[in-house]
């Protein structure tokens, strides 16, 4: 009888501990080649470095669903299934650069990003939007409107924003690969430092 009581007590303890255990926080990154580690070892990409930094103190996993060449239209199409599969607590949206480089209408980019924000919120996920910029040779008006699109969406939706993902990198040839578009491995820690403060604020609000 005593053994049965001990067994029941242990079983109850396990059940209670599981019930009150803190679940692992999942972060879903939806990006393009800048987040997919184009041209460098994936272990040296900013997403991988970010996960290593976060897991020092928090029980966190990052699902990197970034695809080189991805546009906002492609990301918008893929996101619902990824949300359903991973049920993330946070979604980092790093898209739009390829839209701009292809000269696609900014209204389409805005529509796609808004759709992704709405979809994330339906799954009760917090959203962190990363801003991007393009060279003025695409036209001053287009470049400025592209740059301003990100803070506009962040303010409208009351979501966190990294003003410029490549702050401290863009325009520095030593930190860019030969194509002049993709950051080198040496630049990846800088990207982490650009993202981390805003992401930590988001995580604290969960």
Catalytic status, residue 33 = yes
Which one is predicted more confidently, 17 or 187? 187
pLDDT tens-digit series, residues 95-118: 999 999 999 999 999 999 999 999
Catalytic residue among 18, 41, 179, 205: 179
Measured between alpha carbons, how far is 11 from 7 in angstroms, rounded to an integer? Answer: 6
Residues 85 and 63 sit within 8 Å (Cβ to Cβ)? no
Domain range annotation of the chain: 25-204
Q: pTM higher than 0.85, yes or no? A: yes
> Cα–Cα–Cα angle for 68, 148, 192, nearest 5°?
50
Catalytic status, residue 158 = no
How confident is the model at residue 3, as a pLDDT? 55
How confident is the model at residue 122, as a pLDDT? 98
CA end-to-end distance (rounded Å), the chain: 45
The residues pairing with 179 across neighbouring beta strands, listed in sequence order, are none
Question: What architecture (CATH level 2) is domain 25-204?
Answer: 3-Layer(aba) Sandwich (3.40)
Residues 113 and 104 sit within 8 Å (Cβ to Cβ)? no
Catalytic residue among 35, 66, 99, 182: 182
pLDDT tens-digit series, residues 114-154: 999 999 999 999 999 999 999 888 899 999 999 999 999 99
């Amino acid at each position: 009888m005593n053994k049965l009581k001990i067994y029941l007590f242990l079983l109850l303890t396990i059940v209670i501990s599981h019930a009150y255990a803190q679940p692992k926080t999942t972060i879903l990154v939806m990006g393009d080649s800048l987040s997919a580690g184009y041209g460098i070892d994936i272990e040296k990409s900013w997403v991988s470095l970010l996960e290593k930094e976060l897991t020092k103190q928090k029980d966190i996993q990052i699902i990197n669903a970034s695809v080189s060449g991805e546009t906002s239209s492609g990301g918008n199409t893929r996101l619902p299934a990824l949300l359903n599969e991973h049920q993330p607590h946070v979604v980092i949206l790093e898209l739009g650069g390829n839209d701009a480089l292809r000269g696609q209408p900014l209204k389409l980019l805005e529509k796609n990003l808004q759709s992704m924000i709405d979809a994330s919120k339906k799954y009760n996920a917090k959203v962190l939007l990363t801003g991007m910029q393009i060279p003025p040779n695409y036209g001053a008006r287009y470049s400025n409107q592209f740059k301003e699109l990100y803070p506009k969406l962040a303010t409208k939706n009351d979501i966190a924003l990294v003003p410029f993902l490549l702050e401290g990198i863009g325009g520095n040839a030593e930190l860019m690969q030969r194509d002049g578009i993709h950051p080198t491995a040496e630049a990846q820690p800088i990207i982490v430092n650009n993202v981390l403060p805003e992401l930590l604020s988001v995580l604290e609000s969960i």
